[in-house]
Amino acid sequence: MKKVSRRLRELQQLVEERPYTPLEALELLKKTATAKFPESAEAHVRLGIDPKYTDQQLRTTVALPKGTGQELRVAVIARGEKVAEATSAGADVVGSEELIDEIQKGRFDFDLLIATPDMMPQVAKVGRILGPRGLMPSPKAGTVTFDLTQAIAEFKAGKLEFRADKTGIVHVMFGKASFPAEDLLVNLKALQDTIERNRPSGAKGRYWRTLYVSSTMGPSIEVDISSLRDLKLSEVA
C-alpha cells in the first residue's frame, strides 16, 4: 500500500466528507495546494457510462475560457502550402513524411499533434505509437483539419481534448491552482457544460455520479454536482 505523506494527511484533515458548493470547493483546492511547484487544478468526474460499448464512449474537447495556464507545444503534420500555414500560425514542430519518420524513431517533443486529412493515411502508420500517448489525431477532437490556423489558435488559447477512461471516469486538468477561484469556476463550468452536451447516446439512467476536484498533490474535494449544473456560464464568467 502506498504510504500517505504527513503533508497530505494534514491537508486531508481540512476536507470534510461532504459535497461542497463549487466555489467553496475551489477555494479549498487553492488552500490545499502546498507543494513546492506550481500545481494544476484537476477534475475527476465519474459518469454513468460503460465505455466498452461504442454508444457509451465520451471523447471530445473543451475550450477553457480562462485558459490552462500551460504553454502547449503543438506539432503539425501537413504538406505543401499547409506547412507554411502551420509555421506562421505558431506551431512548434512542423513536418511531413520526415516528421512521421522521426516520431517512429522516438521524437515526442510536443504535447499535441494536429494533422491535415490528406496526411492521415501516413499518420496511421504510427498509430500504435501515438495512441497510447493520447497523441493520435482525431476529427472528433478537432486535431484532423485543413484549418490549421484556427485549430492551432484554439488549442494554444486553452482548448483541451479529453475522454472517459475504461471505467467511465473523466480526468481533466482545468487550470492552475494559482488561478483565482472565480476563474477556476468559469473553467469548471465550461467543462461541465461540455460533458453535458456530449452525453453519449447509449448513456441510460443517472449520467452524473460524482465530481471531485484537487490540486496535483492535494486531497480530493467533492463538488455538489447539482449546484454546478444549476449555474449558468454567463453568471460566472
CATH 3.40.50.790 correct for 74-157:
yes
Question: Which cell is 158 given?
Answer: 486553452
Residue 174 has φ and ψ, to the nearest 5°, of -120, 25
β-partners of residue 210 are: 46
Q: Which amino acid is at 197?
A: R
Residues 6+ apart with CB under 8 A from 171: 42, 43, 44, 162, 165
Alpha carbon separation from 32 to 27, 97, 196, 213, 216 (Å, rounded): 9, 47, 28, 11, 10
Per run of 10 residues, the mean pLDDT along the chain (length 237 residues) is 73 89 96 92 96 92 90 94 96 96 94 96 94 90 94 91 93 95 96 95 93 94 95 76
Q: What is the DSSP letter of 19?
A: P
Residue 208: predicted pLDDT? 96
Residue 2: predicted pLDDT? 61
Q: 16-68+159-236 sits in which CATH class?
A: alpha beta
Residue 148: predicted pLDDT? 96
Q: pTM of this prediction?
A: 0.79
Residues 6+ apart with CB under 8 A from 152: 74, 76, 86, 89, 90, 91, 114
Domain ranges of the chain: 16-68+159-236, 74-157
* Pairwise CA distance, residues 83 & 177, whole Å: 36
Per CATH, 16-68+159-236 and 74-157 having the same topology is answered no
Q: What is the DSSP letter of 124?
A: G
Max alpha carbon distance in the chain (Å)? 58
- Please name the residue ranges forming H helices in the chain: 6-12, 22-31, 81-88, 97-104, 120-123, 127-130, 148-157, 181-197, 225-230, 233-236
